[in-house]
Each structure stands twice: as C-alpha cells, then as structure tokens.
Structure 1
Amino acid sequence: MSLSEENENPPASAIGRFLVCTILSLSFAVGVPGNAFVIWTICRRMKQRSLSVVLILNLAIADILVLVTLPIWIYSFANTWLFGIETCKALVFVVYCNMYASIFLITALSLERFMAVFHPFAVQRRTKKTFTCLAMLLIWLLSIAFGAVVLPFQETEDSEFGPQCTSRSYISNSQKVACLLLETLVGFLVPFAVISICYVCIAKRINSLTGSNKRRSNRLVISVVVSFALCWLPYHIFNLLSVASAVMEDSDGEASEALEKIAVQGTFIAGSMVFLSSCVNPLLYAFAARNIQSSMRFAKLSKLFEQMSPETKQEGTKENSVLNGKEETLMSTDLN
C-alpha cells in the first residue's frame, strides 16, 4: 500500500487522521484473531490439505503478517513517525508483499477452481505435495520481488503534525509513471482479468453441477475475490489519477496539480481501506460455514475447508464404477 505519493501538502487533517486510525484499529481487532483462527484450524485440524486449502492458509499468513504492523501505523497517524527511515521502508515492504501475495494467491485459487470444474482429474494428478510447494514458493518469490520495487523510493516526510512514513521520492515523472503502472497492472488489472475470465467460464458451467459442496466452495472463492476487489479498487483508481497527473504536468499544469491533490487525498483514505481486505476473509469463511452440520462449533470451519477439495476422488470412483459395470455387462453378453 502506498500510503501517499510525493507531495508538498500531505493529507493529515484531524478528521482524516481519525478516520484512518479507526479503520486500521477495526482491521487489527477483527483481522488478527480471525486469521489466527484460520491458520490454527488448517494446521491443527486438517492432516490432508488440498491445493485450495494450502492457498487459503498462505492467504491468511500474508494477511496476518501485514495486520500485526498496524499498531505502529496507528500510532504514527495519531502522533508522528518516530521509528526512522529503515523501519519505514521495512514496514512498507511488508505491506506491498502482502498486496502482491494476496492477489497472486487469489488468482491461483481462481485458476484452481476453474481446473476443478472443467478438468477435475488433471487437478488430482497435479496437486501433489511437490507441485503445491513449488507453486507457493513461486508466489512468495514473485511477491518479494515486486514488493521490493518500492524500497528505493520510499521516504519519510515532514507534515504539520510531524514526520510521517507517507512519501515517495522519484527522480522523474517517467519513473513515477512506470512504478505506479507496474503496481496497478501487476497488482490488480492483469490478475483480475485472469480471475474474471475464470469465473465467467465457471458461471456458465456451474448450473449444470449437482454437487452442493462444489457450488458452496465456488461461491466462497468468488466472495473472497469480490471483497478483495472492493477494498483495492479505490486505491488503484487514485493510483491511475496520479499517473494521469504526471503525464499531464508539462501540457496542462493546472489540471495536473488538481488531479494530484485529488489523488493524494484519496490515496490517504483508500490506502487505509486496503487493510480491510486482510480482515474480511475470516468473516466470509465463518458466514459460509454457518449452515454446515457439525456437533462441534469449531469443527464447521475445518469441514468447510475439506469441501474446498475438488471432488475428484468421488467423481472418479463413480465414473470408474460405471465403466466397470458396462464392461461386465459387455463381457456377460459376449459369453452368452
């Protein structure tokens, strides 16, 4: 999350600071115990974990890693930044890694849902432990690589309330445009294009599926995708406004300045909203598990995650039994 772009008058009004601190406090209070419970449920109650469950586990880990940084951000916005430029860069790096890891994990989850619906036996063959480990390693390495892009530009900046870790310093507008476009394209637009294609295809197929578990798991993944989009879309819109401002600076200085002011003010609030995406997923899981029958209250979540596994074994058994039945009928017919 870019908390703010380079500017001379950072958005630090008392109302804005109070609103941001409230959003961050709510995210921390809900998200940390919620994601911790998801991690505990998967690690302690599920011995066999499908690719879907491993993706959800890593998503919860990414979310909780960024949420534990919130007390420092809350203190900073309520007072001033007292922790130095190194800590500033480190915490921004953690936030950016979470952004990329979350979108990459959700994209992988959407692709897995697509394969589970259209090619269930291929999913069964390819979701071995080695494949899953390599996929998670690749996602985290890409997240670290893209998250590190912002580090050379992140700075602390003095405001009317004191220093804040809310500024980036670019050498030129071209560099600024390149960094912001990379962030929006890789961190939002391209992955969501892939996700949208997956779910358009799934939507056309889902009505023909008779398994209620498969419908439930697909609806759950769609709700995770939608919540992520709603939390991150405003931030990336203001990102694009900042890009437009940089592009227009030479041709129309007044319009460029007006756009930059809007982008700066909007990014300050929208930047705090992105933390909501890290706390909402456990609520979605709890809502999806509410109708699952279980004698133990805490077992509902693990049963929900068990249903995330593609029903390949059951479907394969049914198909094999049908084929075997046909073969036996043909053999008996030939013998007679």
Structure 2
Amino acid sequence: MELSNNGTAQSVTAENAVASIILSLACLVGVPGNALVIWIILFSMKRQRSPTVMLILNLAIADLFVLITLPLWIYAFVHGWAFGEAFCKILTYLVHCNVYVSVFLITVMSVERFMAVVYPFATQRWRRNEVIVKVVLGVWVLAFLFSVPALIYQVMGIDAEGRQQCMCQKFDSDEQEILCTVMQVVVAFVIPFSTLSTCYLCIGRKIKRMTFKTQNRTGTVIGSVVIVFLICWVPHHIVNLVSIAALMTKSSNRTMSERLNEVYDIGVLVTGALAFLNSCINPVLYAFAARNIRREFRLSALARLFDQLTHSVKEESRKESTDTTRKDISVTMEEMHSVQHI
C-alpha cells in the first residue's frame, strides 16, 4: 500500500514527526546499549561463554544491525528517500532479516530457559555450544528466507507531500499481499508469542515451587521480556491485520475498505517505529537486573548478570529436581519397608 492512499499531508507530517522521535530515542539508547552488551560478552566475561550468553550475543548483534539503520529512516521521514530504489530494497531486506532474527532468538531463549527449568537433566544432551551454534545458524537462515518478500516487492512510494519514500510494497494481486502479510503476522508474532507465553507460564509454575533467593529476580526478568515483546509488537501486527481486512473488503464494501486504509496509513509509521523499540529495550532490562545485583551499575555487574543468566536458573532447577528425586526415593523406600513388614 502506498502512503498517498487516503489521508492528508498534515496527518502524515504528524506521523513522521512522532515516528522520528521514537526512532531517535531507540537509536540513542539501543546502539550504545547493544554495543556495550557485545563488548562485555566478547571481551569482559571471565568464564567461557555459555549457550544462553551466545543467544544474548546474537540478539544484541541483530538488534544493533537494525538500530544503526535508523538515521537513514529518520532522514527519509524528514526529507524523503534520496538513496535510490536498489538501496531501498537491500536496506528493507536487511531490516526484515534482523527483525526476524531478534524474534526467533527471543523464542529460542524462552525454549532454552523452559528446558533448563522444567527438564534440567534432559537438556544437558543438547545444551552445548556446538548445538547452539547450529541453532543460531538455522535462525539466521530462516530469517533470510522469510525476508525474501521484502526484497522482491519493496518499491518507492510517494507520500502526501509529494516526496519519495521507501516504505511501501507493490504486489501482483490482493491475494498475494494478503498471503505475505498473514505469513508475517503468523511467523513473526503469533507463533513466537504463543511459544513465549507457554514457556513462561510453565516456568512460572515451576518457580513457584522453588524456595531459593534468586527466584524473584529471575521471574522479574522473564516477565519483563514477555511484556516488552507484547507492548512493542502487538500494535504493529494489529495494523497489519487492519490492512488485511481492508483488502478483503475491497470488493464487497468499498467504503469500509477505504476507512480501514485510512487507519492503516495513520498507524503504520508509528507502530512500525514502536516495534523498533524492542531492539533497544533488552540492554535496559539487563542494566536494571545488573543494578539489582549491586546497588550501583557497573560493567562488572553486567558481566556477572550474564553469568547468572547462564547458571542460576539451571542450578535452581537442578536443586529442585534433586529434592524431588530424594523425596521420590524416600517414598519408595517407605513403601518397600511397609511391604516387608506385611
């Protein structure tokens, strides 16, 4: 859809301003934050990097690649796209790739934490660096594949002020556009968020039965990841669903379709910018968690946090499983003792 479809120049200017402010904040916070996370993991960690930390490292790299493109988008919102259609396609493709990578890595981290807590012994078979390297490689490959539509269909568009913009896709048919949009919503949100919710619900139930001191901090970090993911991505995908509804009612109810297009044109810039915030929030969450380890934030505290993310949940689950095993053995021995007496 083109930005010029319905809507006034004033509304688009306001949307551009809001989107530019959001993207500027994301860039100012996210670029140094993710760069700091990468530097600490690569050069400041004393212990060998664990699978969990490897996932955090790749997540920070993906988020950083997304965020360093923001100055170009901000410039385009203010002055129009001046870098040509080929660069528009390439940059959009890379942004889609890294967004998919970020979402997939958060999902893998959720599954890894779920396995470490609920099935601590079974997870030892695959919770090795060589396995995680293969998983991460698979994540990047899948992201490159799912982003192909952005490379094919991305074109230049004209906004309400007559400026060229790199923010619209031209499909061969409405059915093709519906299919691509539905795929994006399902793959980039429905499946990951369903997995996140299921994993953290099970983790929450497991943690409630634990009695160790670190459970409150672990629960806070877990809940924060889910909430931030929800806040940043739900509005963007709701707008995508609005565009699907507009296409589906195009022939049956033209007036409704045009109104839905207006809603889409108004919301697409702001919600898209809000989705970028997800790439800058994770370092902030790490910083707050590290500050809870020490009352003042230090780089050593952040490095210590990454070590704890590697070992604390796993150790808690091991202790919990050991206690459960001991209880089972005790019950079994009592039953055998009773049988012998009989």
What SS does the corresponding residue of 2:168 show, helix, strand or coil? strand
| Length, aligned pairs only | 320
How far the C-alpha of 1:15 sits from its partner, in A, is 2.0
Which residue pairs with 1:309 in the alignment? Answer: 310
SS of the residue 2:292 aligns to:
coil
Gaps of 5+ in 2: 334-342
- Higher mean C-alpha deviation, range 233-242 or range 37-46: 37-46
Shift of 1:161: 4.3
Q: Which moved more, 1:175-184 or 1:309-318?
A: 309-318
Per-residue Cα deviation, 1:36-94 (whole angstroms, up to 9, x for no partner): 00111111122412222111111111100010001111111110111001111111112
**Runs (4+) off by over 6 Å:** none
Q: Note the 1:151-230 alignment, pairs <5 A.
A: 151-159=151-159, 160-230=161-231
User: In structure 1, what is the Cα distance between the partners aligned to 2:30 and 2:242?
Assistant: 30
**Post-superposition shift, 1:27?**
0.8
- Farther-moved stretch of structure 1 (236-245 vs 219-228): 219-228
State the SS of the aligned residue for 2:291: coil
1:27 aligns with 2:26: yes
Separation of aligned partners in 1, 2:22 and 2:3: 23
The yes-or-no answer on 1:237 pairing with 2:238 is: yes
The letter of the residue matching 2:85 is: I
Equivalent residues of 1:81, 1:165 under 8 A apart:
yes
Looking at structure 2, the residues matched to 93 and 123 of structure 1 have their Cα atoms a distance apart, in angstroms, of 35
CA contact (8 A) 2:158 2:164 kept: yes
Match status 1:72 vs 2:93 = no
Matches of 1:310 and 1:147, distance apart in 2: 34
CA distance 1:222–1:316, change in 2 (3 Å): closer
Aligned to 1:150: 150
RMSD (CA atoms): 2.4
Given that 1:155 and 1:165 are in contact with CA atoms closer than 8 Å, whether structure 2 keeps it comes out as: yes
Instruction: Report the equivalent of 2:298.
Output: 297
Q: Distance in 1 between matches of 2:185 and 2:280?
A: 22
Question: What amino acid is aligned across from residue 129 of structure 2 in structure 1?
Answer: K
Q: Percent identity?
A: 41
Instruction: State whether structure 2 residue 270 is matched by structure 1 residue 274.
Output: no
The range that moved more, 302-311 or 185-194, is 302-311
**Aligned partners of 2:148 and 2:188: how far apart in 1?**
13
Alignment partner of 2:164: what SS? strand
Shift of 1:123: 2.4
Offset of residue 289 of structure 1: 1.2
Provide, for residues 282-331 of structure 1, a one-character-per-residue CA deviation record: whole Å limited to 9, x for no partner: 111111111214998210011111111245568769959x98xx9xxx9x
Partners of 1:176 and 1:253 in 2: CA distance: 18
Residue 220 and residue 119 in structure 1: after superposition, are their counterparts in 2 closer, same or farther (change >3 A)?
Answer: same
User: Residue in 1 aligned with 2:263?
Assistant: 262
Superposition deviation, residue 35 in structure 1: 0.5
Aligned counterpart, 1:62: 62
Q: SS of the counterpart of 1:289? A: helix
Unaligned segments of structure 1, at least 5 residues: 331-336
* TM-score, normalised relative to structure 2: 0.87
